[in-house]
Amino acid sequence: MHTNVSLLRTTISSAAALMVLLSVVGDRSLAQAQDAPADAGAPEIELAHRGLHGYIGSHAGASPETHRYGAGFHASVWSLIDRPIRNFQIGLPSTWITPDNSDNRTEPLCPPGTIARDNWPERGPTYGSVFQTMEGGLGYWAGNRFHYGPPKFSLNATPNCYSTEVASPGWPFFHSSEPLPDDMLGIAQVSNRLLIPPDGMTFEGNPMGELLGYAWMALPLTEPRDDPQPTGNQSWTIFLDAKNFKGPLAYYLPECWSRISRDFHFDHGRCLDARPAAGGMAGSMEINTVPEFRMTTEGGEVFTKIPQLQFPVDEEGRTVLVRDVTMYAKSALYDDVLRWRKGGPAPSGAFDPAGAMTPTVGTGAVTYRQDKKKITGVNGLATPTVFPGNVFGLQWNDSSVIKDGVARFPTYFRDEGETRARITEADVPADTGLVQKVFPGPRPKPEPYSAEPLKGSWAAPGPKAGPFETVLADGSTVRYYWYRFIDQPCFQQFDWTPTQRNALQRMIVKMHRHWKIDDQYLPERTGGELASFDPALFVTPPKGMALGHVPIVTWQGMK
């Protein structure tokens, strides 16, 4: 995690502690899924999970502190694998935002008892890189329960040194079917047109290089508070730019960040509710958990196979990963929203270009590894490159791996001393049976995410309408209810006055009235076509609930 130079970069796993758990679980489940050898005399083929690891990364020079209150880009959306498989985790370019605590070089930000403080001494002395992160984006995750081919879009944050994750209005990052405890909920649903399922947001069709734009913007939706701990007014809000949806989707409550400081006073004023983001920016792909078949011949040669990874390419052999990287000052939108909340005119919601800056993007070679061994022969095949216009991607240098606008990453490898080299299918001994091995698909009926029967903050004051159901492109059924915005579960943990609650409710009513899903908020993309979200994610408010009400998912599963 190179957070000293990155404001945005990919994370697909979220918490490192979670990934350790997923790795262990992955080993067991993969071992159980092995099929029998092709014949009794064939070498044994092992199914493992360290088939590929590395970062296809970009970086940018530091941005001024004035332009660390928002950041965004357009990222490519495509089906990285040709069919769904189990225990697979690779992120497409996504986000990584941390608070700027560069003024602290000696004091720990993580309290004793947190995962980072108790387990990762190498992150000391400040633990700044693992203190708080706003992550997520496009990708495939080992914890996904409902697979369908294309990637999904998911939010995620680690507000307390990787001890808790907050990934949707109800759930953590995939690893629990139970919703978060009431006092750990941290995302407020803003959109009254688009659902946020706990397993991630699905796309329409089979995208192959279309773009999704998204940006995090700090907005002053509430006043600073002193109780129960000092809390700033920065509501980090996700804005999307898809073909069929544009505008704000949800935001992280300022209290989601500040509550770590309640009993650890050094953190007062050091969280994302009050601080700008750390400087610099990069958009990267993190390759994390990839299954592999591994076998050793009688002569001692080691051969491996990973799933076929595919990348969209243009006529010049380029895969575009990220474009339009932009950093924002408060003058881009924050200042207009503050005036609006205090009774001023309604802004259009479009980010003011006068408050934007474009950092210069750079990149470098990738260190690909398999079973902790360095892989050779891949960087020359697909070279990380910054193309004209500050566009980051891959340049494919061998036309033999490109067919019908798709480039295919190496699938087979062979040990060569302390490294592992890419080889072709023809180089694999036919009698090994390795070529015929098929990676396990997803489980047929995983456990559903469920907050039902509704209780606690889900039930009091409770929804105004529902339940309603929709079937997503991944085959899962999503059940949801309509809540008045201020009545949704995340707000019930606070002892707010009626005046405070009504003020926020009025602000959201104004946003629903003035900011439409076909308006333009992010700067127009500089190239490419936009991807579309799954039409089944779209909802229409019931009669009388067009303003100030939001759909909250309470269940997602297979029927």
Residue 234 domain flag: yes
**pLDDT tens digits, residue range 360-388?**
998 999 999 999 999 998 989 999 999 99
What pLDDT is recorded for position 264?
97
pLDDT band at 245 (very low <50, low <70, confident <90, very high): very high
Residue 547 domain flag: no
**Residue 95, domain extent:** 16-432
Q: Report the alpha-carbon distance of residue 316 to residue 335 in Å, rounded.
A: 43
- Residues 6 or more apart whose CB falls under 8 angstroms from that of 227 comprise none
Q: What sign does the dihedral 439-441-443-448 (CA atoms) show?
A: positive
**pLDDT tens digits, residue range 342-354?**
999 999 999 999 9
Residue 460 domain flag: no
Statement: residue 496 has pLDDT above 80: yes
Provide the residue type at 519 as one letter. D
Residues of the chain with pLDDT > 70: what percent? 92
Across the range 46-67, mean pLDDT stands at 90
CB 303 within 8 A of CB 429: yes
What pLDDT is recorded for position 34?
42
Residue 502 domain flag: no
The number of folded domains in the chain is: 1
Residue 107 domain flag: yes
Statement: residue 203 has pLDDT above 70: yes
Looking at per-residue confidence, does 299 or 31 come out higher? 299
Residue 205 domain flag: yes
DSSP at 422: E
Statement: residue 6 has pLDDT above 80: no
Report the Cα 559 to chain-centroid distance in Å. 27
What pLDDT is recorded for position 281?
62
Across the range 87-116, mean pLDDT stands at 95
Task: For strands 419-423 and 373-376, give the pairing.
Answer: parallel
**pLDDT tens digits, residue range 7-41?**
333 333 333 433 333 333 333 334 334 444 445 55
What pLDDT is recorded for position 282?
65
Q: Report the alpha-carbon distance of residue 153 to residue 139 in Å, rounded.
A: 7
**pLDDT tens digits, residue range 504-531?**
999 999 999 999 999 999 999 999 999 9
Residue 104 domain flag: yes
Pull the structure tokens for residue 161.
């040194």
What pLDDT is recorded for position 283?
77
Provide the residue type at 197 as one letter. P
Statement: residue 49 has pLDDT above 50: yes
What pLDDT is recorded for position 100?
96
Across the range 411-428, mean pLDDT stands at 96
Residue 544 domain flag: no
CA 165, 170, 176: angle at the middle one, nearest 5? 60
Q: What is the mean pLDDT of the chain?
A: 91
